[in-house]
Amino acid sequence: MIVDAFFTYLPLVLCVYHLRGLTRRSVYHSNQIIRIVLCFAVSNILKLYFRVERPCDDNRGYIRGIIDGTIYVFTSNYAFPSTHSVFYTQYFMYNMSVLTFLIGLFGIFTRIFYNHHTPAQVFFGLCFALLMEISLLNRFKLRKKSVIESNWVRYKMKQNKDYSAKMLKTMNICAHNKL
């Protein structure tokens, strides 16, 4: 039961950790918060759409907030897709390491072992997370490239004063030509 509680509440603990990291204005922590919110929102919207019941009634005793009798804020009676498998897959994809892979694997396995989800629900949660990851990669790939290029330009400008004067002159010419 301790293992179940650990892997059940680990996403909440990681969310608090990343929220705390926002005070340092870290891009890493803000990206993690965006991913956590997306995982939670997408999986709960899909749960309300599909309305597939959980395989076991034992988890109805969890504390949950009920709004209008149908939407469950913290946990729900609906199990498809597994929010934990979506979360653990997303977290591993962003933090690729052996440790996050093992934690994610055990976290996903405990959802099946403790009968919170069927293997199909966990599998489709994993598939939804991979689709979200592909769409996020395509969305932010160009932005990441432009950030890297802008850092390179700043570095070059600090290294060489003549280069920075030429770069500023080129930027001004380009800005005037666009108008």
For 67, residues 6+ apart whose C-beta sits below 8 A from its C-beta are: 73
pLDDT tens readout for residues 108-137: 787 777 777 788 887 887 788 777 777 766
Write down the pLDDT at residue 165: 60
Residue 7 has pLDDT above 50, yes or no: yes
pLDDT tens readout for residues 140-176: 554 444 444 445 555 555 665 555 566 556 655 555 5
Assigned token pair, 39: 């995982």
DSSP state letters, 118-164: -HHHHHHHHHHHHHHHHHHHHHHHHHHHHHHHHHHHHHHHHH-HHHH
- For the packed helices 161-178 and 119-159, what is the interaxial angle rounded to 10 degrees? 110
Write down the pLDDT at residue 138: 56
> At 72, is the secondary structure helix, strand, or coil?
strand
Residue 24 has pLDDT above 50, yes or no: yes
Write down the pLDDT at residue 16: 76
Q: Where are the alpha helices (DSSP H) in 160-178?
A: 161-178
Cα–Cα distance between 128 and 46 in angstroms, integer?
10
Q: How far is CA 145 from the centre of its chain?
A: 20
pLDDT category of residue 57 using cuts at 50, 70 and 90: low
Write down the pLDDT at residue 72: 41
Cα–Cα distance between 50 and 25 in angstroms, integer?
38
Write down the pLDDT at residue 107: 76
Cα–Cα distance between 114 and 72 in angstroms, integer?
21
Residue 68 has pLDDT above 50, yes or no: no
Closest CA to 85 of 124, 50, 113: 124
Give the chain's mean pLDDT: 67
Please state, for a pLDDT cut of 70, what percent of the chain lies above it.
56
